[in-house]
Amino acid sequence: MSGEIACTYATLILHDDGIPVTAEKIATLIKAANVQCESYWPNLFSKLAEKRNIEDLITNIGAGGGAASVAVSAPAGGAAAAEDKDESDEDIGGLFDMFD
């Protein structure tokens, strides 16, 4: 497990239990979980918890961007659609002839 993920979990645990999020408490949880972590991660997460409301971060999590919409133009006339249907019937190459 990476140090960043461990700090994320530790921050969420502390927040969920109503305990103030500090670098020392994050480091204690990570050490208790027997996870190796760079020393700067707990400090970064504690500073984040001081400046931002953890509850807001949890509830306003982004789900990523939606797929771009694709503009499809309708065929100019009904003849083009009829031609496409006829071609698709020919494409099967007698596959269902064995059932006749």
- Cα–Cα nearest to 9, from 58, 50, 51: 58
The domains found in the chain, sorted by start residue, are: 3-58 (1.10.10.1410)
pLDDT at residue 46 above 80? Answer: yes
Average pLDDT, the chain: 77
**How many angstroms separate the CA atoms of 43 and 48, rounded?**
9
Could you report the per-residue pLDDT of 59-93, keeping only the tens digit for each? 887 666 566 666 666 666 655 555 555 555 556 66
Token duo for residue 47: 């500073």
Cβ(25)–Cβ(14) below 8 Å: yes
Q: Say what percent of the chain tops pLDDT 90.
A: 19
Q: Say what percent of the chain tops pLDDT 70.
A: 60
- Mean pLDDT is lowest, of 1-10, 38-47, 50-59, 75-84, for 75-84
**How many angstroms separate the CA atoms of 58 and 47, rounded?**
17
pTM, 2 dp: 0.56
User: In the chain, which ranges are continuous DSSP H helix?
Assistant: 3-16, 23-32, 40-51, 54-59, 78-91
Neighbours of 13 (CB within 10 A): 15
